[in-house]
Chain A
Amino acid sequence: MSDLDGPEIEILPLPLDAWHRARGGRMVEFAGYHMPVQYEGIMAEHLWVRESAGLFDVSHMGQLVFTGEGADVALEALLPGDIKGLGEARMRYSLLLAENGGILDDLMVTRRGDEIYMVVNGATKYDDIAYLLDHLSDDITINILEDQALLAVQGPGAVTALSRIVPGVEALVFMTAGAFDWNGTPLWISRSGYTGEDGFEISVPAEAAAALADALTAEPEVKPIGLGARDSLRLEAGLPLYGHDLDPETTPVMADLGFALSKRRREEGNFMGAERILLEREQGAVTKRVGLVVEGRQPVREGAAVIDGEGSDVGKVTSGGFAPTLGAPIAMAYVPVAMTAPGTVIQIAQRGKVHQATVTAMPFVPHRYVRAGGK
């Protein structure tokens, strides 16, 4: 058979490398690091997060801090979001845009005191930093928090488990953050994540990461979860993954991320690629990211072609897999605008076989974020 794991290559270990190995994590290379792809199995881990809570190590991601007078305004040249209007300890999903409006990365921005804290993707972090250094004035300083690990606790049991260890986190609502103390260790905690579940992301000094991971997994709600389930969870949540569903060839409108274009910024039209992006927003982009539920049991995977009635390629699948919560294969694909209405049946060609799929509104599994003034 093909595609079993190959030999491992010696690369930089993350702070929790030994912690994962000691707990039976199967390590694979990802974004230039060794990361656990699974512990007991992707399906079981996925379902555990949906019903209880999981601990994810996302320390490969880049944690950046911007300081200097007007850092928020300066960042608005590169991001289409309202950064200037971001309140203290509030966070926002945004996009790092190229001059032509293509997406260089997707990221989270938080205002904390006099600085802007940003979390970017692991595989793109060094390119992002080079691009940011190129385009920001010398008055803005970028610090890379290389000595901070990043953990995520996700799932309906996350708030119960984490608030036992760090009282007070239950007061946060979705997309807000705050500084907390854990036995003398400073933690920066936000109520956010990338699974569609309620949960938290915790920036912790690297030397305390293993102790915190121990404390979290000692809670009955929490088990360690690998990258495999992280991918299937975010796919069910309809959340795009950079390098797969987003790349420099896609724009925010094509990616159906129009919500990341803040109203004031659209009106001012002064971000990278604004001319093209605003025109696409007005007239529609040629192709758009949609969700698909695939007929039968066989998943369609990244790279499979969307074909028209004549069998010509008209689009492509950018993420696909089996959805454990739904018990069915699902996917994300870029398709021509005429095929984007929910309910549209489309054909996908993969390894000589044609699959039927139905365009479906995302998320596939409802989000369960805890919002301000909500439930």
Chain B
Amino acid sequence: MSRYFTEDHEWVDVDGDIGTVGISEYAQSQLGDIVFVDVPEEGKELTKGDEAAVVESVKAASDVYAPVSGTVLEGNAALGDNPGLVNEEPEGDGWFFKLTLSDPDELTGLMDESAYAAFVAKL
């Protein structure tokens, strides 16, 4: 399984043609206390770059963009009752949604973990 990152601080784990999407540790630390997450519904067709989810901190609302194109398999239902999971485990149990990738070639445009770490270090 490989993990890829976007410059907008989303990550996607890819296993076969299934991707799991979330926001990075850096993103959650910048957002602060997360109080609400709106995840996409099963069956929703997403094109890379689409507004896929909304994450609300005490202070502000931010969009989460689809890092790759595909069809949503499920949103993370656990975030409904416990949006703070995104703060606690942004790159684990705090994932946002899973999707079936429609164009795995899009992954080549994303960063791997070390490239993303270098990208964040410069921010």
Q: Taking beta carbons and an 8 Å cutoff, which residues of A are in contact with B?
A: 1-5, 37-38, 41-44, 46, 228, 231-232, 296-299, 301, 321-322, 324, 329, 351
Q: Which residue in A42, A298, A329 is a CB contact (below 8 Å) of B59? A: A42
* Cross-chain contact A322 with B36 (CB below 8 angstroms): yes
Given contacts A43-B58, A228-B58, A321-B58, contact A2 B63 (CB under 8 A): yes
CA gap between A299 and B58 in the complex, in Å? 8
* Cross-chain contact B36 with A1 (CB below 8 angstroms): no
Among the interface residues B30, B58, B65, which one has the most CB atoms of the partner chain A within 10 A? B58
* Cross-chain contact B32 with A42 (CB below 8 angstroms): yes
* Cross-chain contact A3 with B60 (CB below 8 angstroms): yes
Q: List A contacts of B59 (CB < 8 A).
A: 37, 42, 228, 231, 321
Given contacts A297-B83, A351-B54, contact A4 B36 (CB under 8 A): no
Closest to A328 in B: B35
Q: List B contacts of A3 (CB < 8 A).
A: 60-63
Q: Which residue in A37, A44, A322 is a CB contact (below 8 Å) of B35? A: A322
A344 CB, nearest partner CB in chain B, Å: 24
Q: List A contacts of B54 (CB < 8 A).
A: 298, 351
* Cross-chain contact B61 with A1 (CB below 8 angstroms): no
Q: Closest 10 CB pairs between A and B?
A: A43-B33, A322-B35, A3-B62, A298-B36, A42-B58, A2-B63, A297-B36, A4-B30, A1-B64, A322-B58
8 A Cβ contacts from B1-53 to A: 8-10, 23, 27, 30-33, 35-36, 38
Q: Is B101 an interface residue (CB 8 A)?
A: no
Q: List B contacts of A46 (CB < 8 A).
A: 58
* Cross-chain contact B38 with A41 (CB below 8 angstroms): no
* Cross-chain contact B30 with A5 (CB below 8 angstroms): yes
Q: List A contacts of B23 (CB < 8 A).
A: 1
* Cross-chain contact A298 with B38 (CB below 8 angstroms): yes
Q: Which residue in B31, B35, B38, B58 is a CB contact (below 8 Å) of A4? A: B31
CA gap between A296 and B44 in the complex, in Å? 23
8 A Cβ contacts from B63-115 to A: 63-65, 83
Q: List A contacts of B83 (CB < 8 A).
A: 297
Q: Taking beta carbons and an 8 Å cutoff, which residues of B are in contact with A?
A: 8-10, 23, 27, 30-33, 35-36, 38, 54-65, 83
A27 CB, nearest partner CB in chain B, Å: 13
Beyond known contacts A1-B65, A43-B58, A322-B56: 17 more, CB 8 A cutoff: A1-B64, A2-B8, A2-B65, A3-B62, A3-B63, A4-B30, A4-B62, A42-B58, A44-B33, A231-B59, A232-B58, A298-B38, A298-B54, A299-B56, A324-B33, A324-B58, A329-B35
Closest to A5 in B: B30
CA gap between A301 and B57 in the complex, in Å? 11
Q: List A contacts of B32 (CB < 8 A).
A: 38, 41-43, 228
CA gap between A6 and B27 in the complex, in Å? 13
Q: List A contacts of B64 (CB < 8 A).
A: 1
Q: List 26 A-B contacts (CB under 8 A).
A: A1-B8, A1-B23, A1-B27, A1-B62, A2-B65, A3-B60, A3-B63, A4-B30, A4-B31, A37-B59, A38-B32, A41-B32, A42-B33, A42-B57, A42-B59, A43-B58, A232-B58, A298-B54, A299-B36, A299-B56, A301-B60, A322-B36, A324-B33, A324-B58, A329-B35, A351-B61
Closest to A327 in B: B35
Q: List A contacts of B35 (CB < 8 A).
A: 297, 299, 322, 329
CA gap between A335 and B23 in the complex, in Å? 37
CA gap between A160 and B59 in the complex, in Å? 30
A89 CB, nearest partner CB in chain B, Å: 37
* Cross-chain contact B56 with A298 (CB below 8 angstroms): yes
CA gap between A13 and B64 in the complex, in Å? 34
Closest to B52 in A: A1
CA gap between A42 and B60 in the complex, in Å? 12
Q: Which residue in B9, B33, B58 is a CB contact (below 8 Å) of A1? A: B9
